[in-house]
């Protein structure tokens, strides 16, 4: 408890220093009050469970995520709430054991685990006890009623980007990515969202992760064959927008392959994943000029990362934002209930919850929606294009007028 008190003081001081920083766009330094009124002291005390991999191969990331979740609890929870932590070990077996332990300790809600396999293994013990789970996974396949995934879902990232580009005139989409879980998820998301927006996905090129993207790029760029009674189309891409699901060295390799493939800078609308927010230097590549991607508010992320770095001694990974928000959400939901467990109806309330970088809404089927902003690669750094579409109005926000 002494460590928690020291951490609380550090986080409070850092928040005050950030709040007194020189003029600029104001960023909420922390969450210091739930949306609902304080609960009377006579009401039942509630426990919030935290389940993350604190041992095994995922221990380094698990420790960082646990620190972010603990910070959110300290900054947002009142004396009525208690935090109980269990190690999922990064394995399905460990997650199942941790879930059983938390259920035995009568927690009202569980935050975590991280991996989709852990989520699936932990769900049965919590489901039997009626305890909702707010996981950090971004795999929609792990979502179900009462089991929520709060990571950045590929479909939400694609929807945010394609909605903006559709209003700018985009109609046909190509997809390039590694033939792995992420690449396939983004390709599926492009088909799903393309159908919603009346956009056609004309080409999908997925390449073996161990190979280069050149063959897949050539396949995507090949002209359509002439059909009976119709002339062959002119040479060139069969799309006006290219979705790139890769990041890091793979993205660099694809960018370097553009010129040999005949793709000149600025001739295609380029769209990428939120992972690009961590790679501003890579996005300075001339071939990626004008590329667009959605991500949580970068200034708000920097504010949170600074607080966590000063409190724990190292700059956190970007997944820490997901952990912080999941815990802040759990605290706010617990503040709206009087007895355990937290009711699912409270969690899926349309007004959503306040996160470190905007609002977060849970959906009845277990998915989540998060406020994001759109960023564009530009000379000298990223250009903030403003809020990404966030469908369905929520309390305290005025929805952007629909165009078209």
Does position 3 have pLDDT exceeding 70, yes or no?
no
For the stretch 33-52, pLDDT in tens is: 334 444 454 567 999 999 99
**CA pair distance 209, 183, nearest whole angstrom:** 10
Domain layout of the chain by residue ranges: 2-17+25-151+298-362, 154-223+234-295+375-387
State the distance between the two ends of the chain, measured CA to CA, in whole angstroms.
56
What's the pLDDT at 283?
87
User: Are the C-beta atoms of residues 225 and 261 closer than 8 Å to each other?
Assistant: no
pLDDT digits (tens, 9 = 90+) for 114-150: 999 999 999 999 999 999 999 999 999 999 999 999 9
Region 158-185 average pLDDT: 95
Structure tokens at 22: 């020189």
Taking the C-alpha atoms of residue 316 and residue 50, their distance in angstroms, rounded to an integer, is 18
- The percentage of residues in the chain with a pLDDT greater than 90, rounded to a whole number, is 70
Domain 2-17+25-151+298-362 homologous superfamily, CATH: Response regulator (3.40.50.2300)
Domains 2-17+25-151+298-362 and 154-223+234-295+375-387 fall in the same CATH topology = yes
Distance CA 385, CA 399 (A): 16
* pTM of the full structure: 0.83
Express as a percent the part of the chain with pLDDT over 70.
82
- Model confidence pLDDT, tens digit, residues 199-213: 999 999 999 998 888
Q: Give the 3-state secondary structure of 228-241.
A: CCCCCCCCCCCCCE
CATH superfamily, region 154-223+234-295+375-387: Response regulator (3.40.50.2300)
Under DSSP, is residue 111 helix (H, G, I), strand (E, B) or coil?
strand
Q: Decide: 263 and 287 in contact? Cβ < 8 Å.
A: yes
Using a 10 angstrom Cβ sphere, with 0-12 exposed, 13-18 middle and 19 or more buried, the burial of residue 225 is: exposed
- Residues 272-319 pLDDT 10s: 999 999 988 888 889 999 999 999 999 999 999 999 999 999 999 999
pLDDT at 255 over 80: yes
Rounded to an integer, what distance in angstroms lies between the CA atom of residue 245 and that of residue 44?
47
């Amino acid at each position: 408890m002494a460590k928690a008190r020291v951490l609380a003081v550090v986080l409070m001081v850092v928040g005050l220093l950030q709040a007194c920083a020189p003029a600029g766009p104001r960023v909420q330094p922390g969450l210091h009050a739930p949306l609902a009124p304080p609960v009377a002291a006579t009401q039942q005390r509630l426990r919030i469970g935290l389940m993350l991999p604190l041992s095994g191969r995922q221990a380094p990331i698990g420790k960082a995520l646990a620190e972010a979740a603990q910070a959110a609890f300290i900054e947002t929870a009142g004396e009525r709430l208690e935090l109980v932590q269990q190690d999922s070990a990064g394995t399905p077996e460990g997650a199942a054991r941790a879930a059983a332990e938390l259920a035995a300790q009568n927690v009202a809600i569980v935050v975590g685990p991280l991996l989709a396999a852990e989520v699936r293994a932990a769900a049965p013990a919590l489901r039997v006890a009626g305890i909702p789970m707010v996981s950090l996974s971004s795999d929609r396949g792990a979502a179900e009623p009462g089991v929520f995934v709060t990571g950045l879902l590929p479909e939400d990232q694609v929807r945010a980007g394609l909605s903006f580009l559709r209003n700018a005139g985009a109609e046909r989409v190509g997809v390039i990515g590694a033939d792995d879980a992420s690449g396939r998820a983004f390709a599926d998301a492009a088909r799903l969202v393309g159908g919603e927006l009346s956009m056609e996905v004309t080409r999908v090129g997925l390449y073996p992760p161990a190979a280069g993207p050149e063959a897949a790029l050539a396949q995507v760029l090949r002209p359509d064959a002439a059909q009976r009674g119709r002339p062959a189309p002119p040479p060139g891409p069969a799309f006006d927008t290219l979705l790139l699901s890769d990041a890091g060295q793979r993205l660099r390799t694809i960018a370097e392959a553009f010129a040999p493939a005949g793709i000149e800078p600025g001739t295609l609308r380029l769209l990428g994943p939120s992972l690009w927010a961590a790679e501003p230097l890579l996005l300075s590549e001339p071939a990626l000029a004008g590329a667009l991607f959605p991500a949580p508010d970068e200034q708000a992320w920097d504010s949170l990362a600074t607080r966590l770095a000063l409190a724990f001694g190292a700059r956190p990974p970007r997944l820490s934002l997901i952990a912080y928000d999941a815990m802040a959400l759990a605290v706010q939901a617990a503040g709206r209930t009087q007895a355990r467990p937290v009711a699912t109806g409270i969690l899926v309330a349309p007004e959503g919850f306040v996160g470190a970088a905007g609002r977060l809404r849970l959906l009845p089927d277990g998915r989540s929606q998060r406020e994001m902003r759109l960023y564009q690669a530009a000379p000298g750094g990223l250009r903030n294009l403003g809020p990404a579409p966030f469908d369905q109005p929520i309390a305290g926000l005025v929805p952007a007028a629909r165009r078209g």
